[in-house]
Structure 1
Amino acid sequence: MVSDVDAAPLVGRADQVAALRSALLDGGGSGQTSAVFVTGESGVGKTRLLREVGEALRGSGALVLTGACLDIGDASPLHPLLAALRRFDAELTAANARTSSAVRGLLRMFGDETAGPDGAGALLERVSRGLHLIAEGRPLVLVLDDLQWVDRSTRQLLLYLLAGLGDLQLSVLAAVRAESLQGAHPLRRVLTELRRLRSVRVLDLAPLGRADTEQLAAAIVGAPLAPEAAESVWQRSGGNPFVVEELARDLRDGREGLSDTVREVFLARVDALPQPAHAVVHAVAAGVEPVAHWLLAEVTGLPERELIDAVRGAVAHRLLVGDDDGYRLRHRLVAEVLAHELLPAERSALHRRYAEALTSAPAELHHARLAHHWRLAGEPARALPAAMAAAREAARLHGFAEAHRHWSVALQLAEAGARGAAPSTSGPSPDGVRGPASSVVDRGELLRHAAEAAHHCGEHARALALLEELAAAEDAPPACPLHIRRARYLAAAGRSAPAEAEYRLALAAADCTPAQRATAAARLAELLLHLGRYADAGDLARQALRLAADVPDSVSEVVLASAALGFSEAYLEDPDAGLAVMRRALDTAERAGRPEDVACAYLHLAELLTGPLNILEEGVVVARRGAERVAELGLGRTYETRLLAIATNGLFRVGQWAEAEKVVAAALRHRPSGADAVELLLARCRLSVGYGDVAAADRDLEAVATVLAGGGARHVIPLLTLRAGLAMWQGRHDLARQAVQRGLTESRSDDMGILAALVWHGLRAEAEAHASRTVPVDETAVRRLRGAAERVARRSEHAARPVRDVVDGFLALCDAEVSRLDGSDPALWARSVAEWDRRNHPYPAAYSRLRQAEALLARRSRTATAGRLLRQAYRMAQGLGAVPLSSEIRTLAGRARVPLEEPGRPAGSRSAPGARPADDELAVLTAREREVLAAVAEGLTNREIGQRLFISERTIGVHVSHIFDKLQVRTRVQASAIYLRSGAA
């Protein structure tokens, strides 16, 4: 099996190529024979590896003869050597007359030699001498493909030469198809003997790993694969390069199903099996992997000895793999191929045997497998109870994605049963107890369970659709619980405004019970908390706690209401008391153990610490600890991503941008949706804006705006603030102004911190417009912004001290920006520097130093102080990787002729011998940029670096550009040379 080597790159085999080249040259070039036999399944890339190694050996001065064995047994003695000599002779030119004469002499000898009783030995000796003449002192490498078909004469020649009987320095590189070496194959015995020689190695070529599989497929498709496509290629191919290439071409060309080439290859391999092994492979293909040995015995009906021999044969042919759990197909494609080879009645009978074997097993029932097999056996009535039991078991273990899948299957089975499938009376009950299967299942119950599971696993649109189907049913639940459910799902989808409306409808519903009223009030309090309406959230939280006091088993309501109340009190009144309430809520949630309660308690506590209270280090720790905890509870795609977004924002604010990048990249692997995706995209966008990656930031903002099209007021101000910041780095002060004005119009938040940040961006936009002299200052906007700043100041007077501290920092920035409109005041900027230094927020502190230096230089006073401020700001910005800010600092320093190097250390001394320690060459790089440069120096591509560091290829490109700019180089080679010279390697 040979893939199209011209169309596909060699991926994931660099180490093997280097190792084989070294082994063959070191062995064959030292006066000793050496050999490497490469084994592996069909399509794993043996032929391609031989070709690459052969080219590498030729480049090293070796004489390489390449041939392949034919699948015609002994009908063509010494065929691979003869073919190799003829090919080599055809490549020789007139300048190689002596070598050509030796080659043709050896070819004539093959034709003239007759084998008598002693003819074989004489032939081998003469072949050895002839090869010695051809080599002319060069290392000689004989490359043989498909050695499993080797004829007897060639096999004897190899043994003769590798035993050192010929006067020849020879290396042999041969490929052997592993599945062909079965039973008494003569080459199997030869390889066993040869393994004992120190000069002989046998290399089993393994399939590609996941990363290499995706890289190979992407190279053929011509673009990175979508996550779903990458997962499909990996699962179906098992890393076999030939299969990967075929599947990738199908993706590229838009073909559905399997190519005929792949289908015929696998069918041929299965058909070559003895009948018992053939039956075993068919049975495993129909099963749910891994298939336990006892279960396979029940399904196939083979005697134990015969079954073991059959399994052994299938494993040897590289179709099955076995471990302690049971048997699996090496490639999932085998199941796809074989599914079309059985008649429908045969498939149904096979699944029935599986279901009956599982039902009669004395051990605990495997509900998911049982449902699967009864369904495919055409017995929906028997499959339905098992599917429901599997869903309940998955939910009990917090496997909400699996629970959603099982409930969806149960819905399909119920529909099939309703269409007239005959009910069975021997299936298990939903609780796993054998007995009559229920012929009537409440469809409303199935819809309720399916919607809730979809909500928990992040499939918010699916949850809402199922809920609407439930509401339209004849036996729909009362209005109040429907409103509550709809509100929860809408809030999770990021549609906050309609969610709030639904909660208020629930509270006003006539059929609302005390327990439901407590639930609606607690959840609405939590929603208002997310929206920044802390006073309203506190009021509703108190109402919810009063209602819950009269309702038994209202732990969830108490946890949610306590978290909302604690946050409200900590923000508006007493941080210590509020934090104490929130910590008690977390303890209560942990004792009760309900996953969503635990997640909400962690979420609100982490938000409060990293946000208004500015206790960043503890907040990041709580967020990351909470993320680990909720991942254990099966909420990885939802609450874990939101907690990691909070951790990212905290790390961003304290200047740990490289670590923040890692956290957000890890969270995005969950592929979140709805409000969870919004939180994470906004967190990543903050990093992109800071780094100056305009394209990435703009994509994230557009994605957030799309998700929020149906509501989402809690994210409006952060979204518009980021849009304003991005627009200013682009020089689009008019767009920044529009974003800020829209935020002021749409805001309903009590969070003075985010409002103050928005106002600062607005005043900064007007100051930038004034400085650019290209866009006139909007005096009306300035008055409105100054009024907004005054309102923020008044409203924050009664907030807790930590909240006022954060607001004061932004108000200091606002006052200083206003001063830029009629002559920037250095004293106001000095106050801002002090405010942000005290809070350990390096980014606004560096920005304030830039503006303070700018104000001093404009007044032509205290130039030395201005230079010191610019150098401090530059070090801070460079440490963060804040490229636009660093660029602006360099521009001002250049205009004012202020050196950004430390006094006494001249700029440009990087490459001057002895000017300063070599490792200082990398001092201008951030920690993340050093990581990227180290990978560049290893010779990795941007894609490979991204896979190593869990960052997108585009972001790696941005980092590489920044590295080139800071090191003042143009190529990766130059950058790598600086890295290696620095001694950092």
Structure 2
Amino acid sequence: MASDVDSAPLVGRAHQVALLRSALLDDVRQGHTAAVFVTGESGVGKTRLLREVGALLRERGALVLTGSCLDIGDASPLHPLLQALRRLDTAAAGARTSSSVRGMLQMFAAETPTDGAGALLERVSRGLHLIAEGRPLVLVLDDLQWVDRTTRQLLLYLLAGLGDLQLSVLAAVRAESLQGAHPLRRVLTELRRLRSVRVVDLAPLDRAGTEQLAAAVVGPALTAEAAELVWQRSGGNPFVAEELARDVRDGRDGLSDTLREIFLARVDALPEHAHQVVHAVAAGVEPVEHWLLARVVRLPEEELIEAVRAAVAHRLLVGADEGYRLRHRLVAEVLAHELLPAERRVLHRRYAEALTSAEAELHQARLAHHWRLAGEPARALPAAMAAAGEAQRLHGYAEAHRHWSVALQLADGADGPRDVDRAVLLEHAAESAHQCGEHARALALLEELGAVGAGPPSCSLRIRRARYLAAAGRSAPAETEYRLVLEDPDCTPGERATAAAYLAELLVQMGRYADAGQRARVALQLCADVAGSTSEVVRASAALGFSEAYLEDPDAGLTVMREALTVAERSGRPDDVACAYLHLAEFLTGPLNVIEEGVVVARRGAERVAELGLGRTYETRLLAIATNGLFRVGQWAEAEKVVAAALRHRPSGADAVELLLARCRLSVGYGDVEAADRDLDAVATVLAGGGARHVLPMLTLRAGLAMWQGRHDVARQAVQRGLTESRSDDVVILAALVWHGLRAEAEAHASRTVAVDRTAVRRLREAMDRIAARSAGASRQVRSVVDNFLALCAAEISRFDGGSDPELWARSALAWDRDNHPYPAAYSRLRQAEALLARRARPATASRLLREAHQIAQNLGAVPLTSEIRDLAARGRVTLAERDPGTDRRSGAAASPADSGGDDLAGLTSREREVLAAVAEGLTNKEIGQRLFISERTIGVHVSHIFDKLQVRTRVQASAIFLRNRPE
């Protein structure tokens, strides 16, 4: 199973390569020997590793002889050495070494010496000594499990020592071949005792390595679903992973004949009882406990243990305390087609009967699985329903949905029981689908439920439909459904309270904070008359807190949101806890602009909701918030890791939109046009009926991407569409959109290819005035962020309205520095330098600004911005200092802030200055948190950022800088 294709990279083996190189060359003294035997299952990459290490040793000056053993026993003695010598003779034709090689080949061609095998071994050792010519000699042997007796004796002889010959042996052995009394097994056991001999077991790749290898075969288009499939089916075996990846690349859905035949051959090589055991485990639900396997296979205990031992030794089974597993799930796929249907039903019936009769607690999911495949739907249905209820209690919503779906199939089958309430099954299946992120499936099941006469009341059905629509990203129809419930006189007070609370939450998500506050107050009034409305109180309180904090009093609103989180944790309902965390993290990273603390809350909330089974829905949205926060403070590399981890959940609907937008921001910043385009197209597809919360950021990103592409008309159209469709109270989102619109006009003017659209500029100026007026009544923190964007807008206008004003750009850079947003700060410096150079004023200042902007852009990995800075520097004849080549392009490290003017604290945010002042007083993180009313963990984040910016390692050093720079 060794792959002959070297197009894929050697993945996940850097440690082994370094280990083998050191053991075979660096640690071997003159006149000594060393050996490394690499063992592992077929296809794990032993041959490729030997080839890689051999090439590396040649580069280091070693003479490497490479040969392979043949699966023909002792019929070809010393074949691997002869093969290695012939290869060396061909490669060294005409060199002095070649005559020594030919001499050895002639010796082998002659008859066996009369003085026995010992004389032959002695002659071989002398010949190798001549060939080496004082160089280190490495003998590389593949497939050593087939080694002939003479070569085996030669290895033992060579490893016993050859005087002043520096010899190393590197050999690969298939672990599953060393069974029973295999002679090499005894040799390896003896050799392990020698200090100069190492036996390295080459393990399969981990998940990351498998995905990297698959991506190298398929290309960057490898989807998360395909990566998951390759990992699950291959078990990390490189050869299998490459074959599966090629199937994905070539569009083949089934299992390739190559893999099928390979695994069938391995199974067929097993003893009879081991063959039976592997078939049984393949039909079971892993891990299969020993007692359960015994009842299914029905072998005497000693014979069963011997059969299992053989299957484990052949690397088909893995044994552990909890039971037996197949090493590769592909074995189950292969064997599924090898049994007759009647044979499969017998195995599943045995499993079901054994589980039913067991004294231990039943595992309902396994029981339902086996009764169903045994052809007993009436016995499988109760088990499936019990398994679904068990999964829901444990917050396993994906598993619950799978079990409810199975229950529906069983109930609808021709042989299914007729006394089951189908409406109940549909209701449970729809809700579990919603909880696990299958929003389209939830809506389809809900439609089916509405068609059932015995379904729930219409108001309850409307509320469910609205929830599912909102989760699917269809905000407008969801809002309509909630309003219909509130206007329906037949709905109960409890239903109206629920609709009002969910509508308030939806309006927050749509950026309509004033409406959200009104609906939240109505919901809380309704909840006062409804017992047991804790969930509604949590959602309404979180929405009200967000609305108040954004529009009126941030401190009061933040208090309400924190109290909502406390109430949610006390209630223990997963949805309530997730909702409270979501609003709190979103407000901290957004309007309140306490980004570091917001990121901490978002990640902590993501961990919490993952424990509650909401990984595919709320966890992904919280991680999207964390990604956006990390992007804004310039930690792009960390943001990449977070968004990649979240995408493994394969979210859908609004959850997917949040994550795709977050990833798209990174792609636009990096200049990855294709990736950004794909994400924006995906978002546009999902956003049927979406609200301003998603549409405006999507259009803003579309405009930003179009500008880097030089498509200023496309950018203009995106912004104008956003101004037309906007119904959001979120002046921050609107301000970002308007900046992109004015920037598009400025870029068009600078390019001299597209005329400035004065009508569009007039609309943008009017939008600026509206934003300024509306933000005047918002909280101080919101006004601060809006003012930063308005500063950018004013500076952009100057680019096409009388000449770019360097003072306006300087104010913008200072504002963004103050809030620790490196990307817009670097962009502002670029424009300030451009304006100065155009006016031929202060060239030294312009040069400094370009260097600072260049450093920030390089540290971020912002390729388009870096390119524009370099173009301007070239035109202005400014020399830019290149970054340390050892630094990663996407390190995410924030550059030093702009010119500090002698103030070492200039790069700190206002919150960081407060923290540093408390540090200088000698307060602990806990004491600082109590003083500033934020968590101890967040204080730790602030302190770390302070240390990075001040380039210090201790609190004493940081305090000294503060005391030196504090105002008198």
TM-score, normalised to structure 1, is: 0.82
Superposition pairs of residues 271-670 of structure 1, within 5 angstroms: 271-416=268-413, 419-421=414-416, 440-670=419-649
Output the amino acid matched with 1:928: G
What residue identity is the alignment partner of 1:37?
Answer: F
> C-alpha displacement at 1:681, in angstroms?
2.4
Structure 2 counterpart of 1:757: 736
Indicate the SS of the match to 2:37. Answer: strand
Shift of 1:411: 1.6
Question: How big is the shift at 1:384?
Answer: 1.5
SS at match of 1:273: coil
Q: CA deviation at 1:168?
A: 6.9
Give the whole-Å Cα distance in 1 for the aligned partners of 2:263 and 2:776.
Answer: 75
Q: 2:199 aligned with 1:202, yes or no?
A: yes
Distance 1:502 1:14, change over 3 A: same
What is the alpha-carbon distance in structure 1 between the residues aligned to residue 432 and residue 147 of structure 2? 59
For 2:490 and 2:793, the matched residues in 1 are separated by 51
Q: How far is the alpha carbon of 1:594 from its aligned partner?
A: 1.0
Q: 2:734 is paired with a residue of what secondary structure? A: helix
Contact 1:63/1:135, CA 8 A, preserved across alignment: yes
2:191 counterpart letter in structure 1? L
**Greater mean deviation of Cα atoms: 865-874 or 144-153:** 865-874
- Superposed CA offset, 1:589-620 (max 9, x none): 11101111111112112222322233333333
State the superposition RMSD in angstroms: 3.6
How far apart in 2 are the matches of 1:854 and 1:68? 66
Quote the residue 1:715 is aligned against: 694
- Say whether the 8 Å CA contact 1:518–1:544 is kept in structure 2: yes
Deviations 1:317-353 (A, max 9, x none): 2111111211111111221222222221111111111
Give the structure 2 partner of residue 741 of structure 1: 720
In 2, are the aligned partners of 1:282 and 1:338 still within 8 Å (CA)? yes
Separation in 2, partners of 1:713, 1:690: 22
Residues 301 and 45 of structure 1: CA distance in aligned 2, closer, same or farther (over 3 Å): same
SS at match of 2:32: coil
Q: Which residue of 2 aligns with 1:239?
A: 236
- How many angstroms apart in 1 are the aligned matches of 2:54 and 2:561? 68
1:277 touches 1:314 (CA, 8 Å); kept in 2? yes
Distance 1:411 1:591 in 2: 34
How far is the alpha carbon of 1:764 from its aligned partner?
Answer: 3.9
**Aligned residue number for residue 434 of structure 1:** none
Q: Cα distance, 1:131 vs. partner?
A: 5.3
- 1:619–1:650 Cα contact (<8 Å) kept: yes
Mapping 1:27-42, distance limit 5 Å: 30-42=30-42
> How far off its partner does 1:702 sit?
2.5
Choose the corresponding residue for 1:779, options 758, 768, 783.
758
User: Aligned AA for 1:331?
Assistant: H
**1:758 Cα deviation after fit:** 2.8
1:492 Cα deviation from its structure 2 partner: 0.8
Give the Cα separation in 2 of the matches to 1:94 and 1:866. Answer: 64
The aligned amino acid for 2:764 is: L
Matches for 1:718-729 after TM superposition, within 5 Å? 718-729=697-708
C-alpha contact (below 8 Å) 2:234/2:240 kept by paired residues: yes
* Structure 2 residue runs without a partner (length 5+): 896-968
Instruction: Give the letter for the 2:107 counterpart.
Output: L
- Pairwise mapping of residues 823-834 of structure 1 onto structure 2 (< 5 A)? 832=812
- Give the secondary-structure state (helix, strand or coil) at the position aligned to 2:592: coil
Deviation, structure 1 residue 62: 5.2
In structure 2, C-alpha distance between the alignment counterparts of 1:18 and 1:922, rounded to whole Å = 20
* Match status 1:697 vs 2:676: yes
Q: Post-superposition shift, 1:461? A: 1.3
1:4 match: 4
Q: Is the 8 Å Cα contact of residues 128 and 166 (structure 1) preserved in structure 2?
A: no
Deviates more, 1:389-398 or 1:839-848: 839-848
Deviation at 1:559, TM superposition (A): 0.8
CA 1:691–1:122: 2 relative to 1, 3 Å: closer
1:43 aligned residue: 43
Farther off after superposition, 50-59 or 597-606? 50-59
Shift of 1:86: 6.3
Displacement of 1:558 in angstroms is: 0.8
- Offset at 1:299? 1.7
Distance 1:215 1:686, change over 3 A: closer
Q: In structure 2, the residue corresponding to 1:302 is in which secondary structure?
A: coil
Amino acid at match of 1:479: S
Task: Determine if contact 1:691/1:882 at 8 Å carries over to the other structure.
Answer: yes
Query: Aligned in 2, Cα 1:764/1:544: closer, same or farther, shift over 3 Å?
Result: same
C-alpha separation between the residues in 1 aligned to 2:787 and 2:504?
A: 28
Distance 2:294 2:152 in 1: 41
Q: 1:866 and 1:627, CA in 2 relative to 1: closer, same or farther beyond 3 A? A: same
Give, as a single letter, the amino acid of the residue that structure 2 aligns with 1:509.
D
C-alpha separation between the residues in 1 aligned to 2:11 and 2:860? 35
Q: Compared with structure 1, are the counterparts of its residues 265 and 497 closer, same or farther at alpha carbon in structure 2 (3 Å cutoff)?
A: same
Task: Give the distance between the partners of 2:455 and 2:318, measured in 1 at CA.
Answer: 50
Distance, in Å, in 2 between the alignment partners of 1:606 and 1:499 is 24
Structure 2 distance, partners of 1:36, 1:859, is 70
Structure 1, 553-562 or 397-406: larger mean CA deviation: 397-406
In the TM superposition, residue 909 of structure 1 has moved relative to its aligned partner by: 7.9
The separation in 2 between residues aligned to 1:880 and 1:66, in whole angstroms, is 46
Structure-2 change in CA distance of 1:236 and 1:857 (3 Å): closer
SS at match of 1:43: coil
Q: Out of 122-131 and 784-793, give the one that drifted further.
A: 122-131
Alignment of 1:18-33 (within 5 A): 19-25=19-25, 30-33=30-33
2:902 equivalent in structure 1: none
* SS of equivalent residue, structure 1 residue 201: strand
> Kindly tell me: are residues 379 and 887 of structure 1, through their superposed partners in 2, closer, same or farther at Cα, counting changes over 3 Å?
same
Cα distance, 1:802–1:219 mapped onto 2, change above 3 Å: closer
Task: Tell me how far apart the structure 1 counterparts of residues 444 and 67 of structure 2 sit (CA, whole Å).
Answer: 63
CA offset at residue 496 of structure 1?
0.7
Whether the 8 Å contact between 2:38 and 2:199 is mirrored in structure 1 is yes
Secondary structure of the residue that 2:339 maps to in structure 1? coil
Report the secondary structure of 2:892's partner residue: helix
| Letter aligned with residue 391 of structure 2 | A
Native 8 Å contact 1:73 1:150 kept in 2: yes
Aligned amino acid, residue 739 of structure 1: A
Equivalent-residue separation in structure 1 for 2:10 and 2:887 (angstroms): 37
Question: Does the CA-based 8 Å contact 2:636-2:890 persist in structure 1?
Answer: no
Name the aligned partner's letter for residue 104 of structure 2: V
Deviation at 1:834, TM superposition (A): 5.8
Determine the structure 1 residue equivalent to 2:177.
180
2: CA distance, partners of 1:727 / 1:327: 55
**Alpha-carbon distance in structure 1 between the residues aligned to 2:790 and 2:112:** 101
Question: 2: distance between equivalents of 1:681 and 1:702?
Answer: 10
Q: Distance in 1 between matches of 2:367 and 2:4?
A: 42
- Alignment-mate amino acid for residue 410 of structure 1: A
Does the 8 Å CA contact 1:541/1:562 hold for their aligned counterparts? yes
- Work out whether residues 521 and 544 of structure 1, in 8 Å CA contact, stay in contact via their aligned partners in 2: yes
Q: How many residues get paired?
A: 893
Q: Any stretches of 5+ residues in structure 1 without a counterpart? A: 424-438, 900-906, 911-918, 932-985
**Distance in 1 separating the partners of 2:621 and 2:788:** 26
Q: Is the 8 A contact 1:503 1:520 kept in 2?
A: yes
Partner amino acid, structure 2, of 1:146: D
Report if aligned partners of 1:487, 1:499 keep a CA contact under 8 Å in 2.
yes
Per-residue CA distance 1:611-659 (angstroms, 9 max, x = gap): 2233333333322222222222222222122222223333334444444
Taking a change above 3 Å as real, the CA distance of residues 797 and 13 of structure 1, as seen in their structure-2 partners, is closer
